[in-house]
Structure formats: C-alpha cells, structure tokens
A and B are shown apart, each in its own frame.
Chain A
Amino acid sequence: MVKIKNLEASIEDKKILKGIDLDINPGEVHVIMGRNGSGKSTLANVIAGNEAYELDNGSIFMNDEDITEMSIENRALNGIFLCFQYPVAIPGVSMAYFLRAALNAHLNHQGKEEIDALEFLKNSKQILGELGLDDSFLKRSINDGFSGGEKKKSEILQLLSINPKLAVLDETDSGLDVDALRTVAKGVNKFRNNNNAVLIITHYQRLLDYIKPDIVHLMIDGKIVKTGDMSLVEKVEKDGYSWLEE
C-alpha cells in the first residue's frame, strides 16, 4: 500500500533521513523505534508532506501512485493521516466545526455528499463515548487548553471519523497515563482492518502491549538498521540500542 524508497531528507541543511526503505501492506501494523534524534518523527512528517523539511532524494508511493511531490492536503485526502505528537491549538475554532470541515473535505474528494449536521453529531457522539469523552468536547476550541490526554484522544477521534488508509502515530503514547494509553490503544485497534495500515513511532514498549505490531524496525542515525518481530522490542527494552552499533 505504501512504498518508501531511499528517502533522504534534511532540515536547515542538516541531514536527518539518510536513505529509508519501507514497505507497508494492508492489514499490517509497523513500529519504528529509535533513540531521540534518530529521525523517527522526521519520517512521520515527511510522509505527511510537511514542507518544513527538505526532500533530498527518494520517493513515496501510495497504492502505486507517486505522491512524493503531492501537497499536504492531497496526501491527506488520499488516505494519509498523522496523529500529531504535539497537536496545535486553534483558538476560537470548535472541534465540531473543524472535524466536520475535515470530514467534508474528504467526502468531497471521494465524490460523496457532505455529511449533514445531525448525522455528524450522532457519529461523533458515539466515538466520543468510546473514548470516554463528554459530548461537550465538540464545543471546545480545538486543542486549546486540552490536557495531554485530551489532545491525544482528540487525535484518535479524528482518526476514527476520517477513517484513512494509513495512520501514522507519532509518539502518541508520550505523556499518557495508563488509562488514557488503554483508551487510545482501544481506538487504534478499532480503526484497524484488513484494508488499512498503521505506522507507530514510539520509544517504549508500553503502547505495544495493547497494539500488537506485525513488523518492528529499529532506526539509528536516519537509517533503518534492523527489521524483525516483537522480539526486537523486548531486546531494546532490555539492552537499549548500543548493541546495534557494534
């Protein structure tokens, strides 16, 4: 579904990604682990098309379509969704307004009719309930004054509403207590099916106790140096990353 070939990227002339290859098929959950500064979040941003990063080399394909040069919103409309590590606040714009605008942008792109307000509310309230959030959440300004847990739950609410093809979770587990972590994981598991895929970027095993990955990648200094299964996660948890550099 997503094919990344020899991806190189930099920010302010500093090379961060030094040749990433990644192949994600429908139904799969991939995990990328690595130290701080290894380039994990850069990869997530470059997949989403963040123009703060300079693309130096390589290409990204989505269902055989080259999306390397595609705009941020067109990538989103083609099914790429980024769960932000630090979702930004937009004061005065309600969750409901924002989410409905996002949803309608996707529906328009798919040639479908826009969702009416009642149906939208019904769907949203159901998801809110599953995430343990109050209906009044929809009236709040997006991410404005949200707690860490609320911010991540808001991202999962959007994920479940928009229902993309690829969900990239950029350190979604950071700053969450156990209960919030479980709720977020439940949301991601609900999203999963045989036609979509998940790419998890994380430092820790704890989220992976709830979302079982199929493939695990270890990243060092802008490169994927090892790919394997869940046993890699346990080894990293026990021994760290230095054994990979020997």
Chain B
Amino acid sequence: MADKNQKIIDQAIDQEYKYGFTTDIEQTKFEPGLDESVIKKLSALKKEPKWLLDWRLKAFKRWKKMKEPTWAQIKYDPIDYQALSYYAAPKKKVNESLDDVDPEILETYNKLGISLNEQKRLEGVAVDAVFDSVSIATTFKDELSKHGVIFCSFSEAVINHPDLIKKYLGTVIPASDNYFAALNSAVFSDGSFVYIPKGVKCPLELSTYFRINASNTGQFERTLIVADEGSYVSYLEGCTAPMRDENQLHAACVELVAHKDATIKYSTIQNWYSGDKEGKGGIYNFVTKRGRCEGDNSKISWTQVETGSAVTWKYPSVIMQGDNSVGEFYSVAVTKNKQQADTGTKMIHIGKNTKSTIITKGISAGEGQNTYRGGVKILKDAENAQNFSQCDSILIGDKCGAHTFPYIDVKNPTAKMEHEATTSSIGEDQLFYCNQRGIKLDDAVSMIVNGFCKEVFEELPMEFAVEAKQLIEVTLENSVG
C-alpha cells in the first residue's frame, strides 16, 4: 500500500482553492514604495490626529534599524518592501449604508459565503468586512450599541473613540516589538476595534472577514479588543485571497486587553491562498498576536485553524498579569504542497495562581513543513503557576516534516509544568480498518484527521467548527491513495 500511497501523493493535491477569484473594481492605490511621505499621505487620507502620525513615524524609524528575523524554520524569497504598495481601496466612497457599497464587493462577500445583508446573516454573528486596506461595512451596529458595545473599523474608532485608541494602542504589542509589528505600526491601514463595557456579555459573536484583492499590495491590518471588567466577548476572524503567481505580504497585529474578571475568546480560521503545487505564489503571513490578562481572574483564549498561506509565522500569546488569570492556546495547523508553518504561542506567567493551557495539532501532507514553537515563562512572583502543553503532529506521506521547539523558563519553584508531545503517521492499519467498513479513503483520512483535531475544534463557536471541519476535508482531499 505504501507505494500506491506515494504515487497518489506524488500526483499531489489537486483540490482547487475555491476562494481564488479576483474582483474587478476601480481602486485607489498608492504607488509602490515606502518612505515617510507614504506614511504621511496614508495618515492624512485617514484624517488621523497628529499623535497617531507621530506614533507611526516613530515605529517607521525603529523598523528601518531592525532586521528581518531569521530564527524561524521557514525559507522564502526575500521580500522587497519598496516593490509593494501600502494602500489599496475601492474607489467608490464607502458610507454608512450598505446601499452605497460597490455591488461588486457585496458580490465578492456573497461568493465567500459572507452576506453583509443583516437579514441573511447567520443568527447571532456581527461582521466587519475588510477589503484590502479598508473596512467596507460592519453589520448589527445598532443592536450592539444598545448594549454599549463598540464594534467598528479601526479607522472609524480613531475618529470616534480617540481616547480609547490612545489609551490602549501599542500597550500589548509595542511599536518596536519585532520587525513585522514595527512595520505594521508604521503602515497599518484598517482593521477592527472592539470595546465591551463593564459587566456586558456581548450578545453576538463578533467576526471580521479579511479579503486581499489587489495585486502587489501588502495587507497590514490592526485589531484591538478591549474587554472591560466582568465582560465577555467571542470574536472570530476569517481570511481569503485570490490566486496570484507572486507572493503577497500580510503583516497584521492583534492586541487584546482583558480587565478584571473579563474573558476574551479569539478564534481564527486562516485560509489565505497557499500557492500552487510547485510552491509558486501564496501569502506570506507574518502576524503578531498578543493578549494581556490585565486584571485578576481574567481569561484570554486563542483558537486558530491555519490551513492557508505559503508561509505562516505566528505566535498568539498571553501575558497573565492579574492573579488567577488564564491563558489558552488551541491550534490546528495544516501544511500541504510546499507550505511552511512556524507557529505556536508564548505564555507569560506574572500573577499568582495563573494557569495556561496549550494544545496544538500539526498536520503535514505533501512536502509541507510544520513547526510548533512555544515558550512558557514563569516569572519570579508567579506563585503556583501551572502550565499544561500538549503538542501532537500527524504526518501524511513521507515527504513532509513536523518539528517541535518547546522553550520553558521557570523562575518560581512552585510552578507545575506538564508537557506532552506525539508524532504519528496516519496508520495504514487505521485506513484498512475504515476501508473494511466500507468507508472510502478520502472519507477515512478526513475522519481520522478530524478526530485528531477534535479537542481544538470543540473550542470553536458552533457554526465555525462545522466550517473548520469542511475546510480540513477539502484541504486534505486526495492526500493519500
């Protein structure tokens, strides 16, 4: 059977990327290139206050002195930052009403299964749609504002809620945090802003849907979520892009702040274009995501399903500052063809009785390379901190790879640490068992992989768990024979 499997793996994974279309619209786009004048132009276009422009320029100065990191287990062609355009937006003016949105764009979201028409939306989910560099529309705003919840594009928040932005921007990810975060701080164009007031349980799931459409542009969105004391919010982001021969850069920042007794649950289904079988094209996904459990008893939980992108570099992390605060990271990362993922988390325990959980599932098929990189740091004053880590990898075929780099740094002797790791192949005996019960090979593979990912999928909101399962099925179709 091994030979037969290999032959079919060699024929590769023919499943077409179903979100690979482009939308033909008139757009405003900056000429390629990056210097201070570009940042000034961008900031002026967005009518930003001076402090924000200064913040951007300071970040840019730092970035110019920094070097692209090379420690990750990924290989890619050098990125020419001067060849990229740093702003692209649909030409038609975007107003409050959906009627003013270019029908081509609405059609694009319909094709992606995202209806911006509130009547047709999934019940209980509010959406912010970001198209290239700008936010197109945010649904259910009125419903949310009744509860005092702010959910709008980042640009709007800068204008309408400048105090909140000024208070929190860059407080979790400093502008100079790392190379890609610095770049994002200098040139970020749009994204989502969420504020949940004290004691409010956000009545809807919040969701942002990112779409890259324009060619030769970078996408640099920035998301900021603040959950005030005793509040709760569940937030989901989805991402897709057209199939293009050239690589495109996506460098986002997500900052989360959870005050006393607040909970933020952040889920991602990342399905950027991953490039073709030969590894041509696809998104370079360099993302900095970090949350701070500022108050006591607060909780931040990251769940990610990463199936797209040519290269993924991403470590959603939690700083547990408040006593009894909780950080969680649940991840499924799939690499096939020539995809490379170097992803994981950092859990930083500062407060007493802080507790973190890391559960990751890496799936490698074709020539995919999948790396888990995770750090757990227990600081001196973090009495009775606990961490549980479980990192499992599954290999499909014999040309792919799985790598695990756990870093542990404990400065308080009362800490309790547990780490488990496994690597396995989808067993021929498992496939034989399923086949013997009349279950086809493809169905058997997706059943086994879905079972493998179950602990993570259970963390996703219902509707999205179904989507994630289907995504895995489509992604792994024909990966064994």
Asked whether A162 is an interface residue with its Cβ less than 8 Å from the other chain, the reply is yes
* Shortest distance between the CB of B425 and any CB in chain A (Å): 13
Asked if A88 contacts B430 (CB within 8 A), the reply is: yes
Asked if B432 contacts A90 (CB within 8 A), the reply is: no
Closest A residue by C-beta to B451: A92
Q: Which of the residues A88, A91, A109 comes within 8 Å of B429, measured between beta carbons?
A: A88
Asked if A88 contacts B435 (CB within 8 A), the reply is: no
In the assembled complex, the Cα of A81 lies from the Cα of B433 at a distance in Å of 11
Q: For residue A102, which residues in chain B have a CB less than 8 angstroms away from its CB?
A: 437-439
In the assembled complex, the Cα of A98 lies from the Cα of B451 at a distance in Å of 10
Q: Which of the residues B4, B429, B438, B447 comes within 8 Å of A77, measured between beta carbons?
A: B438
Q: For residue B440, which residues in chain A have a CB less than 8 angstroms away from its CB?
A: 73, 105
Asked if A101 contacts B439 (CB within 8 A), the reply is: yes
Asked whether B156 is an interface residue with its Cβ less than 8 Å from the other chain, the reply is no
Closest A residue by C-beta to B435: A72
Asked if A90 contacts B429 (CB within 8 A), the reply is: no
Binds A, one of B138-146, B195-203, B254-262, B452-460: B452-460
Asked whether A42 is an interface residue with its Cβ less than 8 Å from the other chain, the reply is no
Asked whether A93 is an interface residue with its Cβ less than 8 Å from the other chain, the reply is yes
* Shortest distance between the CB of B437 and any CB in chain A (Å): 4
Per-residue interface assignment for chain A, residues 35 to 57, with 1 indicating a CB less than 8 Å from any chain B CB and 0 otherwise: 00000000000001111100000
Q: For residue A98, which residues in chain B have a CB less than 8 angstroms away from its CB?
A: 434, 437, 447
Q: Which of the residues A50, A71, A141, A158 comes within 8 Å of B437, measured between beta carbons?
A: A158
Asked whether B467 is an interface residue with its Cβ less than 8 Å from the other chain, the reply is no
Per-residue interface assignment for chain A, residues 64 to 84, with 1 indicating a CB less than 8 Å from any chain B CB and 0 otherwise: 000000011100110001101
Q: A51-B4, A102-B438, A109-B438 are in contact. Are A91 and B432 (CB under 8 A)?
A: no
Asked whether A192 is an interface residue with its Cβ less than 8 Å from the other chain, the reply is no
* Shortest distance between the CB of A130 and any CB in chain B (Å): 20
Closest B residue by C-beta to A106: B438
Asked if B438 contacts A90 (CB within 8 A), the reply is: no
Per-residue interface assignment for chain B, residues 450 to 474, with 1 indicating a CB less than 8 Å from any chain A CB and 0 otherwise: 1111110000000000000000000
Q: Which of the residues B427, B433, B437, B455 comes within 8 Å of A92, measured between beta carbons?
A: B455
Q: Which of the residues B428, B433, B443, B455 comes within 8 Å of A90, measured between beta carbons?
A: B433
Asked if A90 contacts B448 (CB within 8 A), the reply is: yes
Q: For residue B434, which residues in chain A have a CB less than 8 angstroms away from its CB?
A: 90, 98
Asked whether B45 is an interface residue with its Cβ less than 8 Å from the other chain, the reply is no
Asked if B453 contacts A92 (CB within 8 A), the reply is: yes
**Centre residue among B436, B439, B453 by max chain A CB count within 10 A:** B436
In the assembled complex, the Cα of A81 lies from the Cα of B428 at a distance in Å of 18
Interface size on B, residues (CB 8 A): 25
Q: For residue B438, which residues in chain A have a CB less than 8 angstroms away from its CB?
A: 73, 76-77, 102, 105-106, 109, 162
Q: For residue A92, which residues in chain B have a CB less than 8 angstroms away from its CB?
A: 450-455
Asked whether A148 is an interface residue with its Cβ less than 8 Å from the other chain, the reply is no
Interface size on A, residues (CB 8 A): 29
Asked if A76 contacts B436 (CB within 8 A), the reply is: yes
Q: A50-B432, A52-B1 are in contact. Are A93 and B448 (CB under 8 A)?
A: yes
Asked whether A27 is an interface residue with its Cβ less than 8 Å from the other chain, the reply is no
**Centre residue among A82, A91, A158 by max chain B CB count within 10 A:** A91
**Centre residue among B4, B429, B451 by max chain A CB count within 10 A:** B451
Asked whether A19 is an interface residue with its Cβ less than 8 Å from the other chain, the reply is no
* Shortest distance between the CB of A115 and any CB in chain B (Å): 13
In the assembled complex, the Cα of A76 lies from the Cα of B427 at a distance in Å of 19
Q: A90-B447, A92-B451, A92-B455 are in contact. Are A73 and B439 (CB under 8 A)?
A: yes
Q: Which of the residues B4, B427, B430, B447 comes within 8 Å of A101, measured between beta carbons?
A: B447
Closest B residue by C-beta to A99: B437
Asked if A76 contacts B450 (CB within 8 A), the reply is: no
In the assembled complex, the Cα of A167 lies from the Cα of B443 at a distance in Å of 24
Asked if B454 contacts A82 (CB within 8 A), the reply is: no
In the assembled complex, the Cα of A200 lies from the Cα of B32 at a distance in Å of 74
Asked whether A58 is an interface residue with its Cβ less than 8 Å from the other chain, the reply is no
* Shortest distance between the CB of A202 and any CB in chain B (Å): 20
Q: For residue A72, which residues in chain B have a CB less than 8 angstroms away from its CB?
A: 432, 435-436
In the assembled complex, the Cα of A141 lies from the Cα of B455 at a distance in Å of 12
Q: Which of the residues B427, B429, B436, B447 comes within 8 Å of A48, measured between beta carbons?
A: B436
Asked whether A213 is an interface residue with its Cβ less than 8 Å from the other chain, the reply is no
Q: For residue A87, which residues in chain B have a CB less than 8 angstroms away from its CB?
A: 433
**Centre residue among A49, A71, A92 by max chain B CB count within 10 A:** A92
Give 6 A-B contacts (CB < 8 Å), ordered by A residue: A52-B428, A90-B430, A90-B448, A101-B437, A105-B440, A141-B451
| Chain A interfacial positions (CB closer than 8 Å to B) | 48-52, 71-73, 76-77, 81-82, 84, 87-88, 90-93, 97-98, 101-102, 105-106, 109, 141, 158, 162
In the complex, the 9 A-B pairs of residues with the closest C-beta atoms, listed nearest first: A92-B451, A92-B454, A93-B451, A102-B437, A105-B438, A72-B435, A51-B1, A76-B438, A73-B435
